[in-house]
Amino acid sequence: MKIALIGLGAIGASFAMGLKAAGYTELYGVDIDPSTIDIAEKEHIIKKGHTDAQLLLPDMDVVILSLYPNQIAPFVEKYSACLKEGVILTDVTGVKTTIIEQVTAILPATADFVFAHPMRGSEKKGIVGADHKRFAGANALITPIPSNSEDHLNLIEKLYRDIGFEMITRVSPSAHDDQIAYVSQLMHALSVAVVNSEQASEETLTFAGNSFKELTRIADINGDLWSELFLNNRSALLHSIDAFEDELNKLKQTLVENDEETLKSLFKQARTQRTDWY
Amino acid sequence: MKIALIGLGAIGASFAMGLKAAGYTELYGVDIDPSTIDIAEKEHIIKKGHTDAQLLLPDMDVVILSLYPNQIAPFVEKYSACLKEGVILTDVTGVKTTIIEQVTAILPATADFVFAHPMRGSEKKGIVGADHKRFAGANALITPIPSNSEDHLNLIEKLYRDIGFEMITRVSPSAHDDQIAYVSQLMHALSVAVVNSEQASEETLTFAGNSFKELTRIADINGDLWSELFLNNRSALLHSIDAFEDELNKLKQTLVENDEETLKSLFKQARTQRTDWY
Protein backbone atom coordinates (compact mmCIF):
# COMPACT_ATOMS: atom_id res chain seq x y z
CA MET A 1 0.00 0.00 0.00
CA LYS A 2 1.48 3.30 -1.14
CA ILE A 3 0.58 6.32 0.95
CA ALA A 4 1.09 9.94 -0.10
CA LEU A 5 1.20 12.84 2.27
CA ILE A 6 0.10 16.02 0.50
CA GLY A 7 1.57 18.83 2.56
CA LEU A 8 4.52 18.06 4.82
CA GLY A 9 3.89 20.63 7.52
CA ALA A 10 3.79 19.87 11.23
CA ILE A 11 0.67 17.72 10.81
CA GLY A 12 1.42 16.02 7.47
CA ALA A 13 5.04 15.21 8.36
CA SER A 14 3.93 13.92 11.78
CA PHE A 15 1.56 11.56 9.98
CA ALA A 16 4.47 10.37 7.82
CA MET A 17 6.78 9.90 10.79
CA GLY A 18 4.09 8.14 12.79
CA LEU A 19 3.30 5.79 9.92
CA LYS A 20 6.98 5.05 9.41
CA ALA A 21 7.41 4.30 13.11
CA ALA A 22 4.40 1.96 12.83
CA GLY A 23 6.11 -0.03 10.08
CA TYR A 24 4.71 1.49 6.91
CA THR A 25 7.46 1.83 4.30
CA GLU A 26 5.76 3.01 1.12
CA LEU A 27 5.45 6.64 2.13
CA TYR A 28 5.62 9.50 -0.38
CA GLY A 29 5.30 13.23 0.00
CA VAL A 30 4.31 16.36 -1.85
CA ASP A 31 5.02 19.88 -0.71
CA ILE A 32 5.23 23.22 -2.51
CA ASP A 33 8.53 23.91 -0.75
CA PRO A 34 11.51 22.03 -2.29
CA SER A 35 13.57 22.39 0.90
CA THR A 36 10.81 20.61 2.84
CA ILE A 37 11.03 17.72 0.36
CA ASP A 38 14.82 17.68 0.81
CA ILE A 39 14.51 17.42 4.59
CA ALA A 40 11.81 14.76 4.36
CA GLU A 41 13.94 12.62 2.03
CA LYS A 42 17.25 13.14 3.85
CA GLU A 43 15.71 12.29 7.20
CA HIS A 44 13.96 9.28 5.60
CA ILE A 45 10.57 10.54 6.69
CA ILE A 46 9.41 9.61 3.20
CA LYS A 47 10.79 7.34 0.52
CA LYS A 48 10.44 9.91 -2.24
CA GLY A 49 8.98 13.37 -2.58
CA HIS A 50 8.00 15.83 -5.28
CA THR A 51 6.81 19.38 -5.49
CA ASP A 52 4.50 18.25 -8.29
CA ALA A 53 1.70 15.94 -7.16
CA GLN A 54 1.15 14.70 -10.73
CA LEU A 55 4.37 12.72 -10.57
CA LEU A 56 3.24 10.69 -7.57
CA LEU A 57 -0.53 10.45 -7.52
CA PRO A 58 -1.09 7.78 -10.27
CA ASP A 59 0.58 5.13 -8.04
CA MET A 60 -0.90 6.10 -4.68
CA ASP A 61 -3.45 3.92 -2.86
CA VAL A 62 -4.04 6.33 0.00
CA VAL A 63 -3.69 10.12 -0.18
CA ILE A 64 -3.66 12.13 3.05
CA LEU A 65 -4.33 15.79 2.35
CA SER A 66 -2.70 17.86 5.09
CA LEU A 67 -3.83 21.11 3.58
CA TYR A 68 -5.84 24.13 4.69
CA PRO A 69 -9.63 23.75 4.40
CA ASN A 70 -9.96 25.88 1.28
CA GLN A 71 -7.21 23.94 -0.53
CA ILE A 72 -8.91 20.55 -0.31
CA ALA A 73 -11.55 20.77 -3.07
CA PRO A 74 -9.28 22.70 -5.47
CA PHE A 75 -6.59 20.03 -5.06
CA VAL A 76 -9.03 17.20 -5.76
CA GLU A 77 -10.39 19.04 -8.78
CA LYS A 78 -6.96 19.85 -10.18
CA TYR A 79 -5.59 16.31 -9.85
CA SER A 80 -8.71 14.17 -10.29
CA ALA A 81 -7.42 12.86 -13.63
CA CYS A 82 -4.18 11.66 -11.96
CA LEU A 83 -5.82 9.70 -9.16
CA LYS A 84 -5.42 5.92 -9.16
CA GLU A 85 -8.62 3.97 -9.61
CA GLY A 86 -9.86 2.93 -6.18
CA VAL A 87 -7.80 5.54 -4.35
CA ILE A 88 -8.78 6.49 -0.79
CA LEU A 89 -8.42 10.17 0.01
CA THR A 90 -8.63 11.68 3.46
CA ASP A 91 -8.21 15.13 4.99
CA VAL A 92 -7.24 16.54 8.37
CA THR A 93 -9.33 19.71 8.55
CA GLY A 94 -11.35 20.89 11.52
CA VAL A 95 -14.49 21.73 9.56
CA LYS A 96 -16.53 19.26 7.60
CA THR A 97 -19.93 20.12 6.09
CA THR A 98 -18.76 22.81 3.68
CA ILE A 99 -15.64 20.87 2.67
CA ILE A 100 -17.68 17.73 2.04
CA GLU A 101 -20.13 19.68 -0.12
CA GLN A 102 -17.29 21.13 -2.16
CA VAL A 103 -15.43 17.83 -2.57
CA THR A 104 -18.35 15.52 -3.31
CA ALA A 105 -19.41 17.85 -6.14
CA ILE A 106 -16.18 17.17 -8.01
CA LEU A 107 -14.87 13.80 -6.69
CA PRO A 108 -14.37 11.14 -9.41
CA ALA A 109 -16.61 8.09 -8.98
CA THR A 110 -13.52 5.84 -8.77
CA ALA A 111 -12.21 7.60 -5.67
CA ASP A 112 -13.48 7.39 -2.09
CA PHE A 113 -12.93 10.28 0.33
CA VAL A 114 -12.96 9.53 4.06
CA PHE A 115 -13.28 12.87 5.87
CA ALA A 116 -11.43 12.93 9.18
CA HIS A 117 -10.37 15.33 11.90
CA PRO A 118 -7.30 14.42 13.96
CA MET A 119 -7.79 16.44 17.12
CA ARG A 120 -4.31 17.49 18.00
CA GLY A 121 -3.39 20.88 16.63
CA SER A 122 0.08 22.24 16.46
CA GLU A 123 1.58 25.48 17.66
CA LYS A 124 4.69 24.51 15.74
CA LYS A 125 4.87 25.14 12.04
CA GLY A 126 6.49 23.21 9.23
CA ILE A 127 8.32 19.93 8.99
CA VAL A 128 10.75 20.94 11.77
CA GLY A 129 7.76 20.91 14.13
CA ALA A 130 6.83 17.33 13.19
CA ASP A 131 7.04 14.47 15.67
CA HIS A 132 6.20 10.78 15.26
CA LYS A 133 4.60 10.81 18.71
CA ARG A 134 2.43 13.87 18.12
CA PHE A 135 -0.76 11.83 17.97
CA ALA A 136 -0.08 9.48 20.85
CA GLY A 137 -3.21 9.37 22.98
CA ALA A 138 -5.07 11.91 20.85
CA ASN A 139 -8.70 11.71 19.77
CA ALA A 140 -9.96 11.76 16.21
CA LEU A 141 -13.31 12.19 14.55
CA ILE A 142 -14.36 10.46 11.35
CA THR A 143 -17.37 11.90 9.50
CA PRO A 144 -18.63 9.19 7.13
CA ILE A 145 -20.64 10.07 4.05
CA PRO A 146 -23.03 7.67 2.26
CA SER A 147 -20.57 6.89 -0.53
CA ASN A 148 -17.82 5.70 1.88
CA SER A 149 -17.19 1.98 1.90
CA GLU A 150 -16.95 0.33 5.30
CA ASP A 151 -13.56 -1.13 4.32
CA HIS A 152 -12.17 2.30 3.57
CA LEU A 153 -13.47 3.78 6.82
CA ASN A 154 -11.85 0.89 8.65
CA LEU A 155 -8.58 1.37 6.82
CA ILE A 156 -8.31 5.06 7.74
CA GLU A 157 -9.25 4.25 11.32
CA LYS A 158 -6.53 1.58 11.40
CA LEU A 159 -3.93 4.08 10.16
CA TYR A 160 -5.02 6.45 12.92
CA ARG A 161 -4.76 3.77 15.60
CA ASP A 162 -1.38 2.68 14.26
CA ILE A 163 0.08 6.14 14.76
CA GLY A 164 -1.22 6.41 18.30
CA PHE A 165 -4.74 7.80 18.23
CA GLU A 166 -6.67 6.51 21.19
CA MET A 167 -10.34 7.33 20.73
CA ILE A 168 -11.68 7.45 17.17
CA THR A 169 -15.33 8.40 16.96
CA ARG A 170 -17.65 8.35 13.96
CA VAL A 171 -20.04 11.26 13.86
CA SER A 172 -22.18 12.98 11.24
CA PRO A 173 -20.59 15.99 9.52
CA SER A 174 -23.20 18.40 10.88
CA ALA A 175 -22.88 17.09 14.45
CA HIS A 176 -19.11 17.42 14.09
CA ASP A 177 -19.39 21.04 13.01
CA ASP A 178 -21.91 21.93 15.72
CA GLN A 179 -19.77 20.41 18.46
CA ILE A 180 -16.46 21.78 17.17
CA ALA A 181 -18.03 25.24 16.97
CA TYR A 182 -18.76 24.93 20.68
CA VAL A 183 -15.70 23.21 22.13
CA SER A 184 -13.02 24.66 19.89
CA GLN A 185 -14.00 27.59 17.70
CA LEU A 186 -15.95 29.39 20.44
CA MET A 187 -12.91 29.08 22.76
CA HIS A 188 -10.76 30.77 20.13
CA ALA A 189 -13.33 33.52 19.56
CA LEU A 190 -13.55 34.24 23.31
CA SER A 191 -9.79 34.24 23.73
CA VAL A 192 -9.30 36.63 20.82
CA ALA A 193 -12.04 38.96 22.09
CA VAL A 194 -10.45 39.05 25.57
CA VAL A 195 -7.04 39.93 24.18
CA ASN A 196 -8.47 42.53 21.78
CA SER A 197 -10.44 44.25 24.57
CA GLU A 198 -9.78 47.97 24.97
CA GLN A 199 -8.77 47.06 28.53
CA ALA A 200 -5.66 45.24 27.31
CA SER A 201 -2.55 47.23 28.15
CA GLU A 202 1.12 47.05 29.06
CA GLU A 203 0.02 46.89 32.71
CA THR A 204 -2.18 43.85 32.24
CA LEU A 205 0.39 41.29 33.35
CA THR A 206 0.91 43.09 36.66
CA PHE A 207 -2.57 41.92 37.55
CA ALA A 208 -2.95 38.68 35.63
CA GLY A 209 -2.78 35.20 37.10
CA ASN A 210 -2.94 31.70 35.71
CA SER A 211 -6.51 31.89 34.45
CA PHE A 212 -5.72 34.86 32.20
CA LYS A 213 -2.59 33.19 30.87
CA GLU A 214 -4.44 29.94 30.14
CA LEU A 215 -7.51 31.53 28.61
CA THR A 216 -5.50 33.79 26.29
CA ARG A 217 -3.01 31.11 25.15
CA ILE A 218 -4.99 30.34 22.00
CA ALA A 219 -5.22 34.03 21.05
CA ASP A 220 -1.74 33.47 19.61
CA ILE A 221 -3.66 32.27 16.61
CA ASN A 222 -2.77 31.31 13.04
CA GLY A 223 -5.11 33.75 11.33
CA ASP A 224 -4.74 32.23 7.85
CA LEU A 225 -5.93 28.85 9.08
CA TRP A 226 -8.51 29.97 11.62
CA SER A 227 -10.20 32.46 9.33
CA GLU A 228 -10.87 29.52 6.99
CA LEU A 229 -12.11 27.35 9.87
CA PHE A 230 -14.41 30.09 11.19
CA LEU A 231 -15.81 31.15 7.82
CA ASN A 232 -16.39 27.57 6.64
CA ASN A 233 -18.43 26.98 9.80
CA ARG A 234 -20.13 30.35 10.11
CA SER A 235 -23.66 29.34 11.01
CA ALA A 236 -22.64 26.73 13.60
CA LEU A 237 -20.19 29.15 15.21
CA LEU A 238 -22.76 31.96 15.27
CA HIS A 239 -25.14 29.57 17.00
CA SER A 240 -22.50 28.67 19.59
CA ILE A 241 -21.78 32.34 20.24
CA ASP A 242 -25.50 33.00 20.67
CA ALA A 243 -25.89 30.14 23.16
CA PHE A 244 -22.84 31.43 25.04
CA GLU A 245 -24.20 34.99 25.06
CA ASP A 246 -27.47 33.77 26.55
CA GLU A 247 -25.52 32.49 29.54
CA LEU A 248 -23.28 35.54 29.78
CA ASN A 249 -26.42 37.69 29.78
CA LYS A 250 -27.82 35.69 32.70
CA LEU A 251 -24.63 36.45 34.65
CA LYS A 252 -24.81 40.14 33.67
CA GLN A 253 -28.40 40.35 34.82
CA THR A 254 -27.46 39.07 38.29
CA LEU A 255 -24.86 41.86 38.49
CA VAL A 256 -27.30 44.53 37.34
CA GLU A 257 -29.91 43.33 39.86
CA ASN A 258 -27.42 42.46 42.62
CA ASP A 259 -29.08 39.03 42.62
CA GLU A 260 -26.85 36.84 44.77
CA GLU A 261 -29.18 33.86 44.79
CA THR A 262 -29.34 33.49 41.00
CA LEU A 263 -25.61 34.17 40.65
CA LYS A 264 -24.85 31.38 43.13
CA SER A 265 -27.16 29.00 41.29
CA LEU A 266 -25.35 29.76 37.99
CA PHE A 267 -22.00 29.08 39.68
CA LYS A 268 -23.36 25.87 41.15
CA GLN A 269 -24.62 24.71 37.75
CA ALA A 270 -21.18 25.38 36.23
CA ARG A 271 -19.28 23.63 39.02
CA THR A 272 -21.52 20.57 38.78
CA GLN A 273 -21.13 20.32 34.98
CA ARG A 274 -17.35 20.92 35.07
CA THR A 275 -16.74 18.31 37.77
CA ASP A 276 -18.96 15.88 35.86
CA TRP A 277 -16.70 16.31 32.84
CA TYR A 278 -13.25 16.18 34.39
CA MET B 1 5.85 41.38 66.91
CA LYS B 2 2.75 39.27 67.47
CA ILE B 3 0.85 38.32 64.35
CA ALA B 4 -2.69 36.93 64.31
CA LEU B 5 -4.17 35.01 61.43
CA ILE B 6 -7.94 35.42 61.44
CA GLY B 7 -9.22 32.45 59.47
CA LEU B 8 -6.97 29.42 59.10
CA GLY B 9 -8.17 28.17 55.73
CA ALA B 10 -5.89 27.35 52.80
CA ILE B 11 -4.81 31.01 52.48
CA GLY B 12 -4.62 32.01 56.17
CA ALA B 13 -2.80 28.85 57.25
CA SER B 14 -0.42 29.19 54.29
CA PHE B 15 0.41 32.69 55.52
CA ALA B 16 1.08 31.27 58.99
CA MET B 17 3.27 28.46 57.65
CA GLY B 18 5.13 30.81 55.36
CA LEU B 19 5.79 33.26 58.18
CA LYS B 20 6.95 30.47 60.46
CA ALA B 21 9.32 29.18 57.77
CA ALA B 22 10.63 32.75 57.43
CA GLY B 23 11.52 32.84 61.13
CA TYR B 24 8.52 34.52 62.69
CA THR B 25 7.65 32.84 65.97
CA GLU B 26 4.88 34.90 67.54
CA LEU B 27 2.07 33.55 65.39
CA TYR B 28 -1.49 33.18 66.66
CA GLY B 29 -4.67 32.00 65.03
CA VAL B 30 -8.42 32.36 65.14
CA ASP B 31 -10.88 30.08 63.39
CA ILE B 32 -14.53 29.28 63.92
CA ASP B 33 -13.72 25.58 63.66
CA PRO B 34 -12.14 24.13 66.87
CA SER B 35 -10.64 21.18 64.96
CA THR B 36 -8.78 23.61 62.70
CA ILE B 37 -7.29 25.26 65.81
CA ASP B 38 -6.32 21.80 67.09
CA ILE B 39 -4.49 20.96 63.87
CA ALA B 40 -2.79 24.36 63.74
CA GLU B 41 -1.51 23.99 67.30
CA LYS B 42 -0.51 20.33 67.05
CA GLU B 43 1.40 20.91 63.83
CA HIS B 44 2.98 24.03 65.35
CA ILE B 45 1.67 26.21 62.56
CA ILE B 46 0.72 28.69 65.29
CA LYS B 47 1.83 29.15 68.86
CA LYS B 48 -1.70 29.42 70.22
CA GLY B 49 -5.19 29.56 68.76
CA HIS B 50 -8.70 30.39 69.81
CA THR B 51 -12.15 30.22 68.34
CA ASP B 52 -12.86 33.55 70.04
CA ALA B 53 -10.90 36.48 68.59
CA GLN B 54 -11.48 38.54 71.75
CA LEU B 55 -9.03 36.38 73.67
CA LEU B 56 -6.16 37.13 71.29
CA LEU B 57 -6.67 40.51 69.69
CA PRO B 58 -5.67 42.82 72.58
CA ASP B 59 -2.04 41.61 72.31
CA MET B 60 -1.71 41.50 68.53
CA ASP B 61 0.47 43.93 66.58
CA VAL B 62 -0.50 42.67 63.12
CA VAL B 63 -3.83 41.06 62.22
CA ILE B 64 -4.18 39.29 58.89
CA LEU B 65 -7.83 38.78 58.02
CA SER B 66 -8.11 35.73 55.77
CA LEU B 67 -11.85 36.03 55.51
CA TYR B 68 -14.41 36.35 52.72
CA PRO B 69 -14.95 39.91 51.43
CA ASN B 70 -18.26 40.40 53.23
CA GLN B 71 -16.80 39.28 56.57
CA ILE B 72 -14.07 41.93 56.73
CA ALA B 73 -16.00 45.06 57.82
CA PRO B 74 -18.30 43.13 60.22
CA PHE B 75 -15.23 41.60 61.89
CA VAL B 76 -13.54 44.98 62.34
CA GLU B 77 -16.75 46.48 63.69
CA LYS B 78 -17.39 43.62 66.10
CA TYR B 79 -13.87 43.58 67.54
CA SER B 80 -12.81 47.22 67.24
CA ALA B 81 -12.85 47.63 71.02
CA CYS B 82 -10.42 44.69 71.42
CA LEU B 83 -7.79 45.93 68.98
CA LYS B 84 -4.42 46.96 70.37
CA GLU B 85 -3.53 50.61 69.95
CA GLY B 86 -1.38 50.99 66.86
CA VAL B 87 -2.45 47.64 65.39
CA ILE B 88 -1.94 47.02 61.67
CA LEU B 89 -4.73 45.12 59.98
CA THR B 90 -4.59 43.66 56.50
CA ASP B 91 -6.88 41.57 54.31
CA VAL B 92 -6.43 39.13 51.41
CA THR B 93 -9.55 39.76 49.36
CA GLY B 94 -9.69 40.16 45.61
CA VAL B 95 -11.90 43.23 45.61
CA LYS B 96 -11.00 46.55 47.15
CA THR B 97 -13.11 49.70 46.66
CA THR B 98 -16.28 48.48 48.36
CA ILE B 99 -14.40 46.75 51.17
CA ILE B 100 -12.33 49.88 51.81
CA GLU B 101 -15.49 52.02 51.94
CA GLN B 102 -17.07 49.64 54.44
CA VAL B 103 -13.98 49.33 56.63
CA THR B 104 -12.87 52.97 56.72
CA ALA B 105 -16.35 53.96 57.89
CA ILE B 106 -15.92 51.97 61.11
CA LEU B 107 -12.14 51.60 61.64
CA PRO B 108 -10.88 52.99 64.99
CA ALA B 109 -8.47 55.92 64.62
CA THR B 110 -5.79 53.97 66.52
CA ALA B 111 -5.72 51.19 63.91
CA ASP B 112 -4.23 51.23 60.41
CA PHE B 113 -5.59 48.93 57.70
CA VAL B 114 -3.32 48.03 54.79
CA PHE B 115 -5.51 46.55 52.06
CA ALA B 116 -3.76 43.85 50.09
CA HIS B 117 -4.46 41.18 47.48
CA PRO B 118 -2.14 38.16 47.39
CA MET B 119 -2.64 36.84 43.86
CA ARG B 120 -2.48 33.13 44.31
CA GLY B 121 -5.85 31.55 44.81
CA SER B 122 -6.42 28.07 46.04
CA GLU B 123 -8.43 25.20 44.65
CA LYS B 124 -7.80 23.43 47.93
CA LYS B 125 -9.92 24.24 50.90
CA GLY B 126 -9.14 24.42 54.62
CA ILE B 127 -6.00 24.08 56.66
CA VAL B 128 -5.19 20.71 55.07
CA GLY B 129 -4.74 22.58 51.77
CA ALA B 130 -2.20 24.97 53.30
CA ASP B 131 1.45 25.03 52.23
CA HIS B 132 4.34 27.21 53.36
CA LYS B 133 5.48 27.51 49.76
CA ARG B 134 2.11 28.49 48.35
CA PHE B 135 3.18 32.08 47.71
CA ALA B 136 6.64 31.40 46.32
CA GLY B 137 7.04 33.50 43.19
CA ALA B 138 3.51 34.90 43.37
CA ASN B 139 2.49 38.50 42.74
CA ALA B 140 0.65 40.72 45.17
CA LEU B 141 -1.12 44.05 44.98
CA ILE B 142 -1.22 46.61 47.76
CA THR B 143 -3.89 49.32 47.54
CA PRO B 144 -2.81 52.16 49.84
CA ILE B 145 -5.34 54.59 51.27
CA PRO B 146 -4.47 58.11 52.49
CA SER B 147 -4.53 57.13 56.17
CA ASN B 148 -1.90 54.38 55.71
CA SER B 149 1.52 55.16 57.17
CA GLU B 150 4.48 54.44 54.94
CA ASP B 151 6.02 52.31 57.70
CA HIS B 152 2.95 50.10 57.85
CA LEU B 153 2.82 49.70 54.09
CA ASN B 154 6.49 48.71 54.16
CA LEU B 155 5.91 46.26 56.99
CA ILE B 156 3.14 44.40 55.16
CA GLU B 157 5.22 44.36 51.99
CA LYS B 158 8.14 42.92 53.97
CA LEU B 159 5.93 40.13 55.36
CA TYR B 160 4.84 39.37 51.80
CA ARG B 161 8.41 39.23 50.52
CA ASP B 162 9.46 37.09 53.47
CA ILE B 163 6.92 34.40 52.57
CA GLY B 164 7.97 34.33 48.95
CA PHE B 165 6.01 36.92 47.01
CA GLU B 166 8.07 38.14 44.09
CA MET B 167 6.43 41.21 42.63
CA ILE B 168 4.49 43.48 45.00
CA THR B 169 2.84 46.43 43.29
CA ARG B 170 1.11 49.43 44.79
CA VAL B 171 -1.97 50.51 42.91
CA SER B 172 -5.04 52.59 43.64
CA PRO B 173 -8.12 50.66 44.82
CA SER B 174 -10.16 51.66 41.76
CA ALA B 175 -7.38 50.73 39.32
CA HIS B 176 -7.09 47.41 41.16
CA ASP B 177 -10.78 46.70 40.80
CA ASP B 178 -10.87 47.73 37.13
CA GLN B 179 -7.91 45.52 36.26
CA ILE B 180 -9.01 42.53 38.32
CA ALA B 181 -12.45 42.73 36.72
CA TYR B 182 -10.71 42.30 33.37
CA VAL B 183 -7.95 39.77 34.03
CA SER B 184 -9.67 37.60 36.63
CA GLN B 185 -13.40 38.11 37.09
CA LEU B 186 -14.15 38.29 33.36
CA MET B 187 -12.25 35.01 32.85
CA HIS B 188 -14.46 33.35 35.45
CA ALA B 189 -17.63 34.80 33.93
CA LEU B 190 -16.66 33.53 30.46
CA SER B 191 -15.73 30.10 31.75
CA VAL B 192 -19.00 29.73 33.66
CA ALA B 193 -21.04 30.89 30.64
CA VAL B 194 -19.26 28.35 28.39
CA VAL B 195 -19.97 25.49 30.76
CA ASN B 196 -23.58 26.57 31.32
CA SER B 197 -24.26 26.79 27.57
CA GLU B 198 -27.21 24.76 26.35
CA GLN B 199 -24.65 23.05 24.08
CA ALA B 200 -22.97 21.38 27.05
CA SER B 201 -23.72 17.65 27.06
CA GLU B 202 -22.44 14.22 27.94
CA GLU B 203 -20.92 14.08 24.47
CA THR B 204 -18.89 17.25 24.86
CA LEU B 205 -15.65 15.57 25.88
CA THR B 206 -15.69 13.40 22.75
CA PHE B 207 -14.97 16.58 20.84
CA ALA B 208 -13.05 18.71 23.33
CA GLY B 209 -9.33 19.32 23.29
CA ASN B 210 -6.88 21.20 25.49
CA SER B 211 -8.32 24.64 24.91
CA PHE B 212 -11.74 23.60 26.21
CA LYS B 213 -10.24 21.89 29.23
CA GLU B 214 -8.10 24.91 30.07
CA LEU B 215 -10.75 27.51 29.51
CA THR B 216 -13.35 25.68 31.62
CA ARG B 217 -11.00 24.83 34.52
CA ILE B 218 -12.09 27.84 36.55
CA ALA B 219 -15.79 27.03 36.07
CA ASP B 220 -15.24 24.62 38.98
CA ILE B 221 -15.88 27.70 41.06
CA ASN B 222 -16.42 28.39 44.76
CA GLY B 223 -19.79 30.12 44.41
CA ASP B 224 -19.91 31.45 47.97
CA LEU B 225 -16.64 33.33 47.48
CA TRP B 226 -17.02 34.37 43.86
CA SER B 227 -20.56 35.69 44.25
CA GLU B 228 -19.13 38.08 46.87
CA LEU B 229 -16.22 39.03 44.61
CA PHE B 230 -18.50 39.63 41.60
CA LEU B 231 -21.18 41.58 43.50
CA ASN B 232 -18.69 43.75 45.37
CA ASN B 233 -17.19 44.73 42.01
CA ARG B 234 -20.36 44.93 39.93
CA SER B 235 -19.79 48.08 37.97
CA ALA B 236 -16.18 47.31 37.06
CA LEU B 237 -17.09 43.77 36.00
CA LEU B 238 -20.03 45.00 33.94
CA HIS B 239 -17.67 47.40 32.20
CA SER B 240 -15.21 44.57 31.47
CA ILE B 241 -18.00 42.41 30.06
CA ASP B 242 -19.16 45.30 27.86
CA ALA B 243 -15.64 45.89 26.51
CA PHE B 244 -15.33 42.14 25.84
CA GLU B 245 -18.72 42.04 24.11
CA ASP B 246 -17.66 44.89 21.82
CA GLU B 247 -14.83 42.68 20.56
CA LEU B 248 -16.94 39.54 20.36
CA ASN B 249 -19.46 41.50 18.31
CA LYS B 250 -16.71 42.53 15.88
CA LEU B 251 -15.90 38.84 15.39
CA LYS B 252 -19.58 37.98 14.96
CA GLN B 253 -19.99 40.68 12.36
CA THR B 254 -17.16 39.20 10.25
CA LEU B 255 -19.00 35.87 10.32
CA VAL B 256 -22.33 37.41 9.37
CA GLU B 257 -20.72 39.32 6.50
CA ASN B 258 -18.23 36.59 5.53
CA ASP B 259 -15.56 39.28 5.91
CA GLU B 260 -12.25 37.42 5.76
CA GLU B 261 -10.09 40.53 5.69
CA THR B 262 -11.46 42.01 8.93
CA LEU B 263 -11.45 38.61 10.62
CA LYS B 264 -7.79 38.16 9.78
CA SER B 265 -6.97 41.62 11.08
CA LEU B 266 -8.70 40.81 14.40
CA PHE B 267 -6.70 37.58 14.65
CA LYS B 268 -3.51 39.46 13.85
CA GLN B 269 -4.24 42.06 16.53
CA ALA B 270 -4.80 39.29 19.09
CA ARG B 271 -1.66 37.38 18.13
CA THR B 272 0.46 40.52 18.34
CA GLN B 273 -0.89 41.46 21.78
CA ARG B 274 -0.62 37.92 23.15
CA THR B 275 2.97 37.46 21.99
CA ASP B 276 3.81 40.90 23.42
CA TRP B 277 2.55 39.72 26.80
CA TYR B 278 4.05 36.25 27.04
CATH number, position B205: 1.10.3660.10
Give A142→chain B minimum CA distance, Å. 11
Indicate whether B50 and B82 sit together in one domain.
Answer: yes
Indicate whether B181 and B215 sit together in one domain.
Answer: yes
Percent of chain A past pLDDT 70, that is, above it, reads: 99
CATH number, position A18: 3.40.50.720
CB contacts of A237 in chain B (<8 Å) are: 255
| Residue A122 predicted with pLDDT over 90 | no
Indicate whether B31 and B160 sit together in one domain.
Answer: yes
Yes or no, beta carbons of B204 and A182 under 8 Å apart: yes
Q: How much is the pLDDT for B120?
A: 87
Q: How much is the pLDDT for B124?
A: 77
Indicate whether A198 and A68 sit together in one domain.
Answer: no
Indicate whether A164 and A190 sit together in one domain.
Answer: no
Complex confidence, ipTM: 0.95
| Residue A121 predicted with pLDDT over 90 | no
Indicate whether B166 and B199 sit together in one domain.
Answer: no
Contacts of B92 (CB under 8 A, 6+ apart): B11, B12, B15, B64, B65, B66, B116, B117, B118
- A248 touches A236 (CB < 8 A): no
Yes or no, beta carbons of A227 and B188 under 8 Å apart: no
Query: Which domain-ending residue is among B140, B171, B202?
Result: B171
Q: How much is the pLDDT for A124?
A: 76
CB contacts of A264 in chain B (<8 Å) are: 223-224, 227
Query: How confident is the model over A32-85, as pLDDT tens digits?
Result: 999 999 999 999 999 999 999 999 999 999 999 999 999 999 999 999 999 999
Query: Which domain-ending residue is among A171, A186, A220?
Result: A171
**Mean of the pLDDT values across residues A18-44?**
97
Its pTM stands at 0.95
Chain B contact for A11 (CB, 8 A cutoff): no
d(CA B165, CA A63): 55
Indicate whether B144 and B204 sit together in one domain.
Answer: no
d(CA A102, CA A172): 16
User: Structural domain tally of chain A?
Assistant: 2
Give B6→chain A minimum CA distance, Å. 25
Phi-psi region at A126: left, alpha or beta (left = phi > 0; alpha = psi -120 to 50): left
Q: How much is the pLDDT for B121?
A: 74
Indicate whether A164 and A205 sit together in one domain.
Answer: no
Q: How much is the pLDDT for B262?
A: 98
Query: How confident is the model over A216-271, as pLDDT tens digits?
Result: 999 999 999 999 999 999 999 999 999 999 999 999 999 999 999 999 999 999 99
- B6 touches B35 (CB < 8 A): no
Which has more pLDDT, B150 or A210?
Answer: B150
- A238 touches B249 (CB < 8 A): no
Yes or no, beta carbons of A187 and B203 under 8 Å apart: no
| Residue A123 predicted with pLDDT over 90 | no
Yes or no, beta carbons of B227 and A264 under 8 Å apart: yes
Question: Residue B219 sits in which domain range?
Answer: 175-277
Q: Which of A125, A187, A269 to mutate to test the interface with B (most CBs of B within 10 A)?
A: A187
Indicate whether B27 and B121 sit together in one domain.
Answer: yes
Yes or no, beta carbons of A211 and B187 under 8 Å apart: yes
Indicate whether A39 and A165 sit together in one domain.
Answer: yes
Write the burial class of residue A37 (CB in 10 Å: 0-12 exposed, 13-18 middle, 19+ buried).
Answer: buried
- B31 touches B46 (CB < 8 A): no
Query: Which domain-ending residue is among B135, B152, B171?
Result: B171
CA distances from A251 to B35, B70, B184, B185 (A): 37, 20, 15, 12
Indicate whether A148 and A33 sit together in one domain.
Answer: yes
| Residue A163 predicted with pLDDT over 80 | yes
d(CA B247, CA A196): 6
Q: What is the pLDDT along chain B (278 residues), one digit of tens a residue?
A: 999 999 999 999 999 999 999 999 999 999 999 999 999 999 999 999 999 999 999 999 999 999 999 999 999 999 999 999 999 999 999 999 999 999 999 999 999 999 999 998 767 789 999 999 999 999 999 999 999 999 999 999 999 999 999 999 999 999 999 999 999 999 999 999 999 999 999 999 999 988 999 999 999 999 999 999 999 999 999 999 999 999 999 999 999 999 999 999 999 999 999 999 99
Nearest Cα residue to A225 out of A128, A125, A108: A125
Indicate whether A97 and A41 sit together in one domain.
Answer: yes
Q: Smallest Cβ distance to A248: which of B189, B251, B273?
A: B189
Chain A contact for B212 (CB, 8 A cutoff): yes
Residue A133, classed as helix, strand or coil, is: coil
Q: How much is the pLDDT for B125?
A: 83
CB contacts of B256 in chain A (<8 Å) are: 234, 238
